[in-house]
Chain A
Amino acid sequence: MSRPALAYRKYSVIAAVAIREKSAYLASYAARYLTYGLFVFVFSRIWAAVYAGSASIAGYTREMSTWYFIVAELPIFSFSAFFARVSEELKNGQIAYRLARPYGFIPASFAERVGPALLDLAVFGAVGFALGFALAGPPPVPAGLSFAVAPALALSLVLSACLQFFLQMSLAMTAFRLEENDAFYWIYQKLALVVGTLIPIEFLPDAARALARWTPFPAISWSPARILVAFEPREALSILGVQAAWVLAAALLSSAVFAAGRRHVVVNGG
């Protein structure tokens, strides 16, 4: 078997085991699905009140804003747990055990974390879309283009998962050098929430919007949400291209942080 085929097989087995483990306890995550559903409901009421006096704000109608929120929250609810697990592995010494195994630390972590997160995404997506239809009717997709929207949205969400993973890995691996690194993640998490999740970046003041476009945060939530609510083929391609570029940059960053950090690992005892 060739090396790439072997690697593919190895990491897909890791992902499959992690997905099986997650699916066995899916019901125990009910509280998180409920929280997401509650959030969607509350925000649909906010948008109903906001749009009582105007048909459109910054180019978004009430239906667009409701659907925007439903999709923008998916990467936040589904892909936010990468940091804590990796950071904990580094702090409690589990990393020493993992480094000795015959796989790459970052690719194995990717398979182990992103696989189950995509299962989570499917459940949150089902909850969100059911609520969306009930609260705002069908998504505002242009007639005849729904065949293109679905794969573009799916690809954008997968890229968002990859981006969240590599960015959170980079932050988590600061634990190689620092004892307390949680504050970095909190700042990252709140920036992701403000820049493109709770509201579309088009709502931000001009200067803040211009600044936001130079950061990776819009590629997390704004990109998939924008693809669903304002689909236009050329813009969608550009959004996906920008997301892919950020994924590549974040992957390189995480490799650099790992290479610099692993030199500081000291293993005591066994």
Chain B
Amino acid sequence: MRFASTFRFLGRAFAVNVKAVLEYRVNFFLQVFGMMLNNAAFAVFWKVLIDRTGGVGGYGFTDIMFVWAVSSTSFGLAHVVAGNIRSISRMVREGELDVYLLQPRDVWLNVVCSRTVVSAWGDFAYGFIVLALMPGVGLGRWLVFLAIIPAAALVFAAAFSAAETLAFWLGDSQGISGALQEFLLSFSLYPETIFEPGMRWIFYTLVPSAFVAYVPLAAWRSLDWGAVGVVWAAALAWLIITRALFRAGLKRYESGNKMGARI
């Protein structure tokens, strides 16, 4: 019953967010288009480079495009559904959590899902467009992609908000949380093999790029459903850690007596 209620709540929050962004339609479509254009610029770079070299670190053009597709769509999904995952630090600092504490809902879920990021819709769509344009992607590969996206989005959402919850302890943590987020995003968009073996353990622990890019690529290459399971297991582990961190941090939260309302 609790699950059903949570999903109903997520659905309602999502519907309200969509309604809000569609109020400014031109701006919405421009931002979506802009984000897809941004991603496409990097596709041109990889195409030119791989045509010249034949591959980078064992990755061909298709591999790179899959990594971009899965990272972009899952990053987009995380920000479309939970647009506040990168605002927690600011909200804690400015005392904006008060209004959420009074509501009869899970605070973390309520906070992160109360906004959608417009440009993230472009990221979300980009992965589907890339895969649709890629030759030889059969039903099996589409299913692997679709099964991985929600899990990878959870990894992004949980890891980003875990970094943001440092604000409960550090006060202004925007510098360090911004750095952690930048690392996660940057390392996810490039071949794992270009980085020294000595630093790759980071991608499976502190900066979980492996679960939004490298393991999904292994699953996609050999239709390995076991690897899909690994991504889901990592997502659940990150979710548990993040929620525990947020709950522990919330005990340290001090109200700023800031007046606010959610309409």
B91 within 8 A of A: no
Give the distance in Å from the alpha carbon of A194 to the alpha carbon of B37 in the complex: 11
Q: Are A42 and B34 in contact (CB-based, < 8 A)?
A: no
Q: Are A42 and B190 in contact (CB-based, < 8 A)?
A: yes
B contact face: mostly helix, strand, loop, or mixed: helix
Identity of the chain A residue whose Cβ is nearest the Cβ of B190 in the assembled complex: A42
Q: Are B53 and A199 in contact (CB-based, < 8 A)?
A: no
Q: A58-B52, A194-B44 are in contact. Are A38 and B183 (CB under 8 A)?
A: yes
CB contacts under 8 Å to A, within B15-44, are: 26-27, 30-31, 33-34, 37-38, 40-42, 44
* Min CB–CB distance A159 → chain B (angstroms): 24
Q: Are A39 and B186 in contact (CB-based, < 8 A)?
A: yes
Give the distance in Å from the alpha carbon of A162 to the alpha carbon of B144 in the complex: 49
* Min CB–CB distance A72 → chain B (angstroms): 12
Central interface residue in A42, A57, A186, by most chain B CB within 10 Å = A186
Q: Are A183 and B34 in contact (CB-based, < 8 A)?
A: yes
Give the distance in Å from the alpha carbon of A54 to the alpha carbon of B49 in the complex: 13
Q: CB within 8 A of A182: which of B34, B40, B41, B44?
A: B34
Q: A50-B56, A190-B38 are in contact. Are A183 and B175 (CB under 8 A)?
A: no
B240 within 8 A of A: no
Q: Are A190 and B175 in contact (CB-based, < 8 A)?
A: no
Q: A31-B175, A31-B182, A190-B41 are in contact. Are A182 and B30 (CB under 8 A)?
A: yes
List of 4 A-B pairs having minimum Cβ-Cβ separation, nearest first: A190-B41, A49-B57, A45-B194, A186-B34
Q: Which residues of A contact B (CB under 8 A)?
A: 30-31, 34-35, 38-39, 42, 45-46, 48-50, 53-54, 57-58, 179-180, 182-183, 186-187, 190, 193-194, 198-199, 203-205
24 A-B pairs (CB sep. < 8 Å): A31-B178, A34-B178, A38-B183, A42-B194, A46-B56, A46-B194, A48-B194, A50-B56, A54-B53, A57-B52, A180-B27, A180-B30, A182-B31, A182-B34, A183-B30, A186-B38, A193-B41, A193-B45, A194-B41, A194-B44, A198-B45, A199-B48, A203-B49, A205-B48
Q: Which residues of B contact A (CB under 8 A)?
A: 26-27, 30-31, 33-34, 37-38, 40-42, 44-45, 48-49, 51-53, 56-57, 174-175, 178-179, 182-183, 186-187, 190-191, 193-195
